[in-house]
Amino acid sequence: MIDISIIVPIYNAERYLNRCIKSLINQTKENIEFILVNDGSTDSSEEIIKSYKDKRIKYFKNKNQGIGKTRNFGMKKATGKYIMFLDSDDYLATNACEELFNKAEKDNLDLVINNFYRVEEETEKKVEVIIPEFKNTTLKENKRLLLDVNLAPWNKLYKSELLKENKIQFVEDLKYEDAPFVVEAMDKAKKIGYIKKFLNYYVIHKNSETTVRDEKIFDIIEIVDKMRKYFSKRKEFTETVDKLSVRILTNYTIQQRVQQDKEVGMQFIDRAFQYMKENISDYKDNKYYENRGFLRRTIEKNQFLTKVYCKHYKSR
């Protein structure tokens, strides 16, 4: 049996793909496979992939379906005991698979989480992103994981059994599809572990999904709603999920300052605040705001002030 399957969704990634693939084939861990799924690229991504003759590469080409469907397709093709995800513009430390596999096997873990570097594409500056340290645990024992762990699928190793037996899949046809996937995986995992080492390089570039805001921004409200409904009957999670919801929605309302279409930005702010008013009791008193500076929390809590700030913000 293959030890680890690494799933890489690829869409018009010619600028970054060589670095990504090289980080895979140079892994110190043996007995791994790479599931490279071309999601209808129109650039030279296919030629780059085919230039690698490594037998561990399993290449699939589909029409453009979006990242959620592409990752779900990749999971169906994976044969490994464990699964990892890697975005095509990111890359791995050469010892990533070895470190994660050894930790999972040693401690019999369903899920392993590691620290990562945030890399600015233009300057190649690396910033350490540290997940607060924890001993082997479960989400029930440590609810703060919902707040402390980034809700992206990479920088994590999943036991295939965990995903398949619980039918955990990515949301399809919505942006920000990865958050519910990670939340459910953490919730269903019988034991979650942590590695201090920085094993992923998460690249931020000027026109990435992370930095560009468009009308798909409204999807985040539906994603938050899906996560809230998932925990709706488990009152012990209410406080944590409320804090997570306020944090996410506040973060995205404030980010409308870089929204190119200001009208769309104002509409999103209205809708996000309306959602919080209707679904989160006393959202203005939420503990998320406790550690914000006075001016910052005054703006973030107030719909009118948020709109004024975002409308008149000028990027430096």
Query: Which fold does the domain 4-204 belong to in CATH?
Result: Spore Coat Polysaccharide Biosynthesis Protein SpsA; Chain A (3.90.550)
* Mean of pLDDT values over 284-309: 95
Q: Are 43 and 125 spatial neighbours (Cβ–Cβ below 8 Å)?
A: no
In which band, very low, low, confident or very high, does the pLDDT at 314 lie, cut at 50, 70 and 90? low
For residue range 23-58, what is the model confidence (pLDDT) as tens digits?
999 999 999 999 999 999 999 999 999 999 999 999
Q: Is the dihedral of CA 15, 180, 272, 286 positive or negative?
A: negative
pLDDT band at 210 (very low <50, low <70, confident <90, very high): very low
Q: Is the pLDDT of residue 8 over 50?
A: yes
Which residues in the chain are classed under CATH 3.90.550.10?
A: 4-204
* Higher local confidence (pLDDT), 206 or 162: 162
Amino acid at 109: L
240-280, pLDDT tens digit by residue?
A: 999 999 999 999 999 999 888 889 999 999 999 999 999 99
Q: How far is CA 307 from the centre of its chain?
A: 27
φ, ψ (nearest 5 deg) of residue 175? -75, 165
CA 193 centroid distance within chain: 18
Q: What is the pLDDT of residues 111-124, one digit of tens each?
A: 999 999 999 988 88
CB within 8 A of 151, min separation 6: which ones? Answer: 178, 179, 182, 183
